């Protein structure tokens, strides 16, 4: 492994590039602007950013109790699972699907990238295929996660004649209102837009007997607790409620107590950070951060890189600078429309761009295959955000690399 992964070696990084300031800035660009009002992650112990990936022989393979063929689900769903190339259930799928098929409320706690979406979509699709009048509401924190779940839904439900709609902010509300008139079987949305549509009388949740709260901890972090309570109050009772989160806290436990009835708990969380991710720091004190980044990105092993910055302004500016230097990059952040954010994600997934620069809007829930490296250009606000950022690499048993720039 290259020496720049060593904790004490970043000082040896040279500056081989001539900076072209262009129209971006008169002063050397050293990173996104920082607000004194925001938590800059200074309280995080730097040693938590350093962790060597566990050797493959030390990772104990999970032995599933079931195969997909064992589940009592419609044969069409089984064929679609096979077409997607899924062989055996992941731990969260293996333990959750039977409980959901039996109609039990469930609390699923698992690391990011463990197959939670399939864990609830597969049994719920079967439920709706058995009773076509059934309606399912899936509440998620971000537009990107809603779109990703809908993509998974379309794969699992092919040829079933079941339909879905995505209800998210940042998109024209009128087409979403029209789509609701067709009574879709699955509604996938973010809290703010769902609340808006309820208030407009365009979304009637009294017919929805199944509720999924995905990435519940993230929705709590983002301040959606009031909207979630409002939405849940409109879903009919009794209902079938599925609750998924990467973490548990006192607030999360309170939600579980309020929203679920005698739930089965499934926890397959294996630790704070993925065992398949090699984590280290790059010390940039006294250096130009962009120059350090240039040298890293020029190395051949940096094949598909996700870079995290703190601010929308900084992310957009960094992406443009990288693009001007010949690195194929795109950016996603809160100031971009849904269309442009989705276009950037698709380009990154399809390897049309090598680098995606993002704020934390991309840190949770997104399944982006084969990310070789995550670079924290800015230290995350808290350790939990760090965990979710680096969870974008080292997925599906692959090895990943995570580097954090520190002063």
What is the CATH number for 188? Answer: 3.40.50.300
Together in a domain, 184 and 84: yes
pLDDT at 220: 86
Together in a domain, 134 and 213: yes
As for how many domains the chain has, the answer is 2
SS3 346: helix
| Length of the chain in terms of residues written | 407
pLDDT at 356: 95
Q: Using an 8 Å Cβ cutoff, are 109 and 245 in contact?
A: yes
Beta bridge partners of 281: 404
pTM (predicted TM-score): 0.70
Together in a domain, 235 and 294: no
pLDDT at 269: 65
Together in a domain, 95 and 238: yes
> Can you list the pairs that 38-42 forms with residues at least 24 positions away whose Cβ atoms lie under 8 Å?
38/310, 38/381, 39/381, 39/382, 40/310, 40/379, 40/381, 41/378, 41/379, 41/380, 41/381, 41/382, 41/385, 41/386, 42/379
Together in a domain, 219 and 73: yes
Q: Order across the sheet with 264-267: list the strands.
A: 164-167, 186-189, 136-139, 210-213, 240-245, 106-109, 264-267
pLDDT at 29: 45
Together in a domain, 27 and 115: no
Together in a domain, 192 and 231: yes
pLDDT at 392: 84
Task: Please report whether residue 63 resides in a domain.
Answer: no
For the chain, 407 residues long, give each residue's pLDDT as a single digit of tens.
433 433 333 333 333 333 333 333 334 444 444 333 344 565 677 777 877 766 544 556 678 899 999 999 999 999 999 999 888 999 999 999 999 999 999 999 876 667 899 999 999 999 999 999 999 999 999 888 899 999 999 999 999 999 999 999 988 999 999 999 999 999 999 999 999 999 999 999 999 999 999 989 889 888 899 999 999 999 999 999 999 988 788 888 999 999 999 999 998 865 555 677 899 999 998 899 999 999 999 999 999 999 999 999 999 999 999 999 999 999 998 888 878 888 898 899 899 999 999 998 765 556 788 899 999 999 988 887 888 888 888 876 678 899 999 98
Task: Please report whether residue 225 resides in a domain.
Answer: yes
Task: Please report whether residue 159 resides in a domain.
Answer: yes
Together in a domain, 344 and 325: yes
Task: Please report whether residue 62 resides in a domain.
Answer: no
pLDDT at 20: 36
Range of the domain at 9: 3-57+275-406
Question: At which of 213, 239, 267 does a domain end?
Answer: 267
Question: At which of 232, 267, 302 does a domain end?
Answer: 267
User: Which residues have a Cβ under 8 Å from the Cβ of 268 and sit 6 or more positions away?
Assistant: 91, 92, 95, 109, 110, 111, 114
User: Alpha helix locations (H) across 131-224?
Assistant: 143-156, 173-180, 191-199, 216-221
DSSP letter string over 228-289?
HHHHHHHS-SS-EEEEEES---HHHHHHHHHH-SSPEEEE----SS-TTEEEEEEE-TTS-H
Together in a domain, 263 and 279: no
Task: Please report whether residue 197 resides in a domain.
Answer: yes
């Amino acid at each position: 492994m290259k020496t720049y992964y060593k904790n004490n070696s970043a000082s040896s990084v040279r500056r081989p590039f001539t900076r072209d300031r262009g129209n971006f800035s008169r002063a050397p660009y050293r990173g996104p602007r920082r607000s004194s009002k925001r938590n800059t992650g200074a309280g995080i112990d730097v040693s938590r950013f350093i962790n060597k990936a566990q050797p493959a022989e030390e990772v104990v393979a999970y032995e599933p109790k079931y195969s997909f063929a064992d589940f009592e689900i419609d044969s069409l769903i089984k064929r679609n699972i096979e077409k997607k190339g899924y062989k055996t259930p992941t731990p969260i799928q293996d333990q959750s699907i039977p409980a959901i098929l039996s109609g039990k409320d469930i609390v699923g706690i698992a690391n990011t990238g463990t197959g939670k979406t399939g864990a609830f979509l597969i049994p719920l699709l079967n439920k709706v295929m058995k009773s076509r009048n059934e309606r399912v509401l899936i509440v998620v924190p971000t537009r990107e996660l809603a779109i990703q779940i809908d993509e998974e839904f379309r794969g699992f439900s092919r040829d079933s004649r079941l339909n879905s709609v995505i209800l998210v902010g940042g998109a024209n509300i009128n087409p979403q209102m029209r789509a609701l008139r067709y009574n879709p079987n699955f509604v996938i949305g973010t809290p703010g837009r769902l609340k808006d549509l309820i208030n407009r009388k365009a979304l009637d949740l009294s017919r929805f007997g199944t509720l999924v709260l995905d990435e519940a901890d993230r929705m709590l972090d983002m301040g959606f607790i009031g909207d979630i309570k409002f939405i849940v109050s409109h879903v009919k009772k009794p209902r079938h409620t599925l609750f998924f989160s990467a973490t548990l806290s006192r607030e999360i436990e309170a939600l579980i107590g309020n929203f679920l009835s005698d739930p089965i708990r499934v926890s397959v969380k294996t630790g704070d950070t993925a065992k398949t991710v090699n984590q280290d720091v790059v010390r940039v004190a006294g250096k130009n951060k962009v120059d350090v980044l240039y040298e890293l990105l020029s190395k051949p092993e940096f094949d598909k890189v996700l870079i995290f910055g703190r601010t929308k302004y900084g992310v957009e500016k960094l992406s443009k600078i990288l693009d001007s230097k010949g690195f194929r990059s795109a950016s996603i952040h809160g100031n971009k429309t849904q269309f442009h954010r989705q276009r950037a994600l698709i380009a990154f997934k399809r390897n049309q761009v090598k680098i995606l620069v993002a704020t934390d809007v991309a840190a949770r829930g997104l399944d982006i295959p084969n990310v070789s490296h995550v670079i924290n250009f800015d230290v995350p606000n808290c350790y939990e955000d760090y965990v979710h950022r680096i969870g974008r690499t080292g997925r599906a048993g692959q090895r990943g690399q995570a580097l954090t720039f520190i002063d």
